[in-house]
Amino acid sequence: MQTSVTPTHCPYCALQCGMNLTPEQDGGVAVVERPDFPVNRGALCSKGRTAPAVLSSRVRLTSPLVRNAGVLEPATWEEALARIADGLTRTRTEHGPDACGVFGGGGLTNEKAYTLGKFARVVLGTSQIDYNGRFCMSSAAAGGIKAFGLDRGLPFPLEDIPKTGCVILVGSNLAETMPPALRYFTELKANGGKLIVIDPRRTRTAEQADLHLAPRPGTDLALALGLLHLVVAEGRTDEAYIQERTSGWEETRAAAMAHWPELVERITGVSVPELRETVRLFCEPETAMVLTARGPEQQSKGTDTVGAWINLCLATGRAGRPLSGYGCLTGQGNGQGGREHGQKADQLPGYRKLDDPAARRHVAEVWGVDPDSLPGPGRSAYELLDALGTDIRSLLLMGSNPVVSAPRAAHIEERLKSLDFLAVADVVLSETAALADVVLPVTQWAEETGTMTNLEGRVLLRKQAITPPDGVRSDLDILHELAARLGVEKGFPKDPEEVFEELRRASAGGPADYSGITYRRLVEENGVFWPCPAPGSVRDAGSVRDVEGSEDSEDSALDVLPDDPAGDPADRATEPHHPGTPRLFLDRFATPDGRARFVPVTHRPLAEEPDAEYPVLLTTGRVVAQYQSGAQTRRVDELNSAAPGPFVELHPRLAERLGAEEGDSLAVVSRRGRATAPARITTSIRPDTVFMPFHWPGEGRANTLTNPALDPTSRMPEFKACAVRVERADRSAGRAV
């Protein structure tokens, strides 16, 4: 039995809270506080405290499964891997490389995400790869790239939040999604700062606010435009900052002035006095921040909505300055790192663009392949899933459960069933894994070593604490074995540190430059913020090129790097290492001219507005005791006791119209399907809106209802608002509304 304490990080959300694991007599581990880690300072939510429960062999997979005569049965690793290799080979031979799809997850380590992207493009030769992180913060990423030239969830550390003068928190219920982060906002208020929460529900987070705005779902864009209108009308713009550090103001100003307060009140339901008070609280202090989350981002206009909030920051001089700025509260554990290193359909490691010739040359050289052999950009996550069984005939899926988490989930479930071949690697037998032809049991957080990148852009090392059960292998081992069976015997190491060393070289010179980060530094420094170029490189945070930059700008970035930027750290012992970049944009933005870019936007309706047949809006979200699709947390007794199942939250006035009482079974019906769950009646929600958490499968699956309408830039589905009607499950007992 291991006797030492292992410092590591929680396997769930993007806070990546620090924790210590101590060994137990039965071979398991117990969680104890780790107060030295600066993000959570010892605090943990119920999910983090109970995380070891999923390590138990009682709830997780410990043997490969293969489908025989329609039934999943235990099999050897040899048989399971052979079936996957045969299935993928048959698809490539009969239908071509792009008939093979790959779908990843925002919980995979950087090493796994990097290797999965490389496997898709080098071994399978397919362009059809994306991951569930597309459903997390892709709209914020797109908005950040347009405005700043670079996307990192928070361009400053969490420790800056309590020191600012005001925070506008848009569409985030931190008290339930990231409880340890709530202390930063409690400290903000204790220091005299103001907290404004924007949410159609009066959540536990909203109860902490100095001002709570409850707009109609899907109107966040109009709200931000109305606030900018008032900033201009009241003379609160920072003209010197606009002149010195931005471009495109006049067009953006004109767009905002078309959204006068009374119009915005009619659209959003937020009163003009509330709009004026928001502007006063935000503009009077010297410093302020806007933080967005899934509420404004998971819309078919999410990129424009994020852009409108960024415009508010720029117009008031609240970006690229100490204790001010715009940030996104990333959701999934490695949602940030997962997209930086190649899981997304259009990206290569280092957050390089796949259609950039210089980026292709650089990464191809690291991989030892011809740049022309790399496929181009493929489909986004929902579009990939929607193509299953038609253009895409086989799918390799790692660490995701789209049967529960994808919009229009019943349709996606049917698409998965229509595949010629489906292979799933996961910790548990999720609802998606249960449909597979082959299921591979994989190691999880405490059983393996690897890096994660949290919402601050802080790269962290999770260290192995215990030996995995017999019969379980790591995702890296699986990709190594499959690559060899498919004819690529080199380039897919099993050792995570060896993979990370290659990732350093592949990311060097890119926007997300990890080349100066080593495992040793991650242990000694409690994480390192990217960009962190290697010793000897003259590139620093101020020279991060525009992600959408030209081939020439990429070449110039690469030319300043040493030949082997990720070489042996011992060879560079005399060179000072780059400290990492906790705060971005203080000197210049990551655009070609160093200026932030205003992007003019205008309000537009939801893709699906209420009508006579579907008169109510549905919005979805999380509860504190469950996580994402619930595949792991639903296997923990303590968490299930706290949150045993789905529910429909509705206002008393809506309940009265339905003739419904607390606990009655309600049916929520959209154009895509029907979900049923008990009523939870509360005045904390708007009368024109109902809320459902999305953690459960079956009859209460909220994503049966949600709309897959996509943002034209980010390809984010419109999870956060769709038109529904609500009725008693026994329609004879009441009316439909």
DSSP per-residue letters across 47-75: HHHTGGGGGSTTTS--S-EEEETTEEEE-
User: What residue type is 196 in one-letter code?
Assistant: I
Tell me if residue 128 falls in helix, strand or coil. coil
What are the DSSP calls for 254-272, one per residue? HHHHTS-HHHHHHHH---H
Write b or e for each residue in 694-727: b if 16 or more Cβ atoms lie within 10 A of its Cβ, otherwise e.
bbbbeebbbbbbbbbbbbebbbbbbbbbbbbbbb
Question: What are the residue ranges spanned by the domains of the chain?
Answer: 80-135+334-443+473-496, 154-328, 616-728
Helix (H) or strand (E) holding 158: none
Q: Which two tokens stand for residue 199?
A: 């949410």
Determine the pLDDT at residue 28: 85
CATH T-level fold of 154-328: Dimethylsulfoxide Reductase; domain 2 (3.40.228)
Q: Which CATH architecture has domain 616-728?
A: Beta Barrel (2.40)
Rounded CA separation 129/101 (Å):
6
Sheet strands side by side (includes 18-23)? 6-9, 18-23, 29-32
Name the DSSP class of 469: P
Rounded CA separation 259/208 (Å):
29
User: What residue type is 342 in one-letter code?
Assistant: G
Determine the pLDDT at residue 560: 30
For residue 54, CA distances in Å to 59, 100, 269 come to 6, 31, 44
Stated length of the chain: 737
- Average pLDDT by stretches of 10, the chain with 737 residues: 81 96 88 95 96 95 97 98 98 98 97 98 98 93 97 96 98 96 97 98 97 98 98 98 98 97 98 98 98 96 98 98 96 89 94 96 98 97 98 97 98 98 98 98 97 97 94 98 97 98 97 97 95 77 35 29 40 70 97 97 97 98 95 96 97 97 97 98 98 98 98 97 95 64
197, HSE (Cβ side, Cα atoms, 13 Å): 20
Determine the pLDDT at residue 25: 83
Determine the pLDDT at residue 180: 96
Determine the pLDDT at residue 548: 34
Please name which of 432, 323, 409 lies closest in space to residue 105, comparing C-alpha atoms.
432
CATH T-level fold of 80-135+334-443+473-496: Rossmann fold (3.40.50)
Determine the pLDDT at residue 569: 41
